[in-house]
Structure 1
Amino acid sequence: MQIDLDITDERWATLGLEAICEKAALAVLERLEIEADECELSVLGCGDARIKELNADFREKDKATNVLSWPAEERGAEIEGALPETPEPDIFGVIELGDIAISFDTCAREAEEAGKSLTDHATHLMVHGVLHLLGFDHIREADASLMEGIETEILGKMGIKDPYSEY
């Protein structure tokens, strides 16, 4: 797998964002039986100021958020609660997943508020972001249930507690 990592907030480098991204993406791809060697994605490790700009530009929401995803192509399932179509390599043998931006400030604040480790929360957000790149979403109820179930399963195999339960 190729990950193009752009760290504009050095706190991400200190935390080890590259390893977090790789571990999370590989876990998602393995769970969905997608050949990781064929996949490419880009990740921006930034702070709240930059993610707020991106959120305003792309989602018309003038506030910071934890993670944003831009799939290389629309892969969502038409039928609510169904699995998205598995991506296929292009003529060059590459599966372009898309781009993810993650904010250190929001991630750290949410982790602290929830009593979670920053690494575990960042891993969860990366799993969540990669699933979005693969067509998973949480707008419709059945889609959210499917996505959250897969996230919980993946994170559990990584030794991370269910992020959707109280603990």
Structure 2
Amino acid sequence: MINYNYETDFKIDNEQQNSQWIQSVIESEGLVMGDINYIFCDDDYLHKINVEFLDHDTLTDIISFDYKVGKILHGDIFISVERVADNASDFDVSFDQELSRVMIHGILHYCGYKDKTESDKALMRQKENDCLEKLAQFS
């Protein structure tokens, strides 16, 4: 089950569509959806988590905590909507497209994809793009 939590005034319009899309991605990876919590927040909120739990004194768009048990995905995904908006502007894409990319990025980490090396980053970006194409089926 996917839960959407808001620590800011932002709200996504299409929770059910996103949930169906995310579940389809998880299942396409041969995994099972457990409890996944999205927490939408601002830069200050996510920065505090980054410092406190990861010892990183930087802004970021997403932090995910993976509680997977076997093939069942569980986790908390924190997303700064401020950072997503800035990145959308920097990458010249819509806010909604960047938000979807970030939302699925956390799920792909749970599925085992990494982004530390250049080859890992390229594979992650390809998987994100594949998933974004799949999202159109749920519109």
1:13-64: per-residue Cα shift (whole Å, max 9, x none)?
1x3373474255224214313344xx22111111111000011112222222
Question: Cα distance 1:138–1:5, how it changes in 2: closer, same or farther (>3 A)?
Answer: same
Consecutive unaligned residues of structure 1, counting only runs of 5 or more, are 75-86, 89-94, 160-167
1:10 partner SS: coil
Structure 2 matches for 1:102-141, cutoff 5 A?
A: 102-141=79-118
Bigger Rg over Cα: 1
Partner residue in 2 for 1:22: 19
Q: Deviations over 1:103-136 (max 9, x none)?
A: 0111111112222111111000011011112221
The corresponding residue for 1:144 is 121
Q: Pairwise mapping of residues 12-91 of structure 1 onto structure 2 (< 5 A)?
A: 13=11, 15-16=12-13, 18-19=15-16, 21-36=18-33, 39-73=34-68, 87-88=70-71
Q: What RMSD, in angstroms, separates the aligned Cα atoms of the two structures?
A: 2.2
Unaligned runs of 5+ in 2: none
Q: Distance in 2 between matches of 1:47 and 1:133?
A: 23
8 Å CA contact 2:64, 2:106 repeated in 1: yes
Name the residue aligned to 1:97.
74
Relative to the length of structure 1, the TM-score reads: 0.70
Q: CA 1:17 to 1:58, structure 2 compared with 1: closer, same or farther past 3 Å?
A: farther
Q: 1:65 and 1:20 mapped to 2: Cα distance?
A: 25
Q: Could you say which structure has the greater relative contact order, defined with CA pairs below 8 angstroms and 6 or more residues apart?
A: 1
Verify the 8 A CA contact 2:2 2:19 in the aligned structure 1: yes
Structure showing the higher helix proportion among its residues: 2
Give TM-score scaled by structure 2 length: 0.83
More strand by share: 2
